[in-house]
Amino acid sequence: MVKLYQFRCPKCNNNQNFYRYGKDPDGYQKYLCRVCSRQFSPERPVAGEGKTGRARLYPSCPACGKASFLHHDYEYYSNYRCGDKRCNHSFFAFKGNAIAPPSMSTLFGKSDFKRMRYPVFLIVTALSMFYLGKNSFRNISLILRTAFNIKVSHTTIANWCTQFAPLFDNQRLKLLPMMDLNSDEWHTDETVVKIAGSKHYLWFVVDSETRFIIGFHLTPYRNSPQAFALLNEAAAHGKPNAIVSDRYAAYKVPVKSIFEDVKHIRVESFKDDVSNNLIECFHKQFKAWYKTKQGFSSFKTANNLISMFIFFFNFVRPHSALDGLTPAQVAGLNLSKLQKREFLLVA
């Protein structure tokens, strides 16, 4: 009686005459076809691109589709090279699990307006005066007492400007899907801020069409891992045709590995056709607000204050990216009644 197998020889299509031939290096059972002497492992997963049916350990070459090999392995990314010497294409693949989250995802404070002594409109008014103007906490307290006849301590206003960062960041995440950030260019750059007298770097990504601040990252370091953290977070919200940066080399590998088929424009001088003036103008607006605060006292406080400033810059300031969002669209969001009321006040 001839035994029939559930698999066939990939070369001669035989399905009844095989010899068990041990196991391959990965532990899969090998068979030898007694008709054509072909050796193969039918249980081994197929990658779908290799001609031999063997699963490839490394990604295929994006230029020719052939197998590649590991050229260099780093902490945050790997550099692969095509195995075909005629192609010899070099490409990068970032390690998503190894990249640390940006500082914008590590906020602390309240996520709602519950159990607040003062009404929501008063809190929003105080926050708007602090983040859109150049008022100090004591000046805001004086204005509220003069205009609304409500006595609020400047310490209470200082706590408002810090503790509501998670609430506004949650609303930012709900409003982002309404915006189209797949534009022609994203601009990225970094600037310096002082926290308790020490130098820190603040990284930004700005959309060229909506003037929207897609993300930020506050860190005491200025190197390639920080660019990885920033661009990896921004990649979740869209994909541009090009990313514009200065000549700083820390952006080269993150752009190549995270954004495939995206052109990286490195501006050499102000005489170039494409400049980085857009984000430089934003730096001027941020520094004008930052200098009135006389620096930051701690990293966590600075991170919350910057997050709130960017929210007001994106959604509350005049001629912002929220201009096309009607109150009906805001009311349609899955928010609580108190949050809807707050957003209809500031929209």
2 has a pLDDT exceeding 70? no
**What is the predicted pLDDT for the residue at 46?**
57
Residues 253-280 have pLDDT tens digits of: 999 889 888 999 998 766 666 788 889 8
301 has a pLDDT exceeding 50? yes
340 has a pLDDT exceeding 70? no
pLDDT band at 55 (very low <50, low <70, confident <90, very high): low
Domain boundaries, the chain: 1-44, 56-98, 105-171, 176-316
Q: Evaluate whether 1-44 and 176-316 have a shared fold.
A: no
Non-local (6+) Cβ contacts of 158 within 8 A are 137
Q: Decide: 191 and 202 in contact? Cβ < 8 Å.
A: yes
The overall longest dimension of the chain from CA atoms, in Å, is: 102
What is the DSSP annotation of 329-340?
HHHTSS--HHHH
What stretch of H or E contains 284? helix 277-291
Q: What is the mean pLDDT of residues 96-117?
A: 87
**165-175 helix and 299-311 helix, angle to the nearest 10 degrees:** 40
- CA–CA separation, 33 and 7 (whole Å): 11
54 has a pLDDT exceeding 60? no
**What is the predicted pLDDT for the residue at 272?**
63
CATH of 1-44, one of 2.60.120, 2.20.25, 2.40.160, 3.40.190: 2.20.25
Of the candidates 123, 126, 128, the residue with the CA atom closest to the CA atom of residue 317: 128
- In the sheet that 18-23 helps form, which strands lie side by side, from edge to edge? 18-23, 29-33, 39-40
Residues 111-168 have pLDDT tens digits of: 888 888 899 989 999 999 999 888 889 999 999 999 889 999 999 999 999 999 999 9
Q: What is the mean pLDDT of residues 235-260?
A: 91
In total, the chain counts a number of residues equal to 347
In 185-245, at which residue ranges do the beta strands (DSSP E only) sit?
A: 185-195, 198-207, 213-219, 242-245
Residue 191 pairs with which residues in a beta bridge?
A: 202
CATH of 176-316, one of 3.30.420.10, 3.40.1550.10, 3.40.50.1390, 3.40.50.300: 3.30.420.10
Residue 93 pairs with which residues in a beta bridge?
A: 78
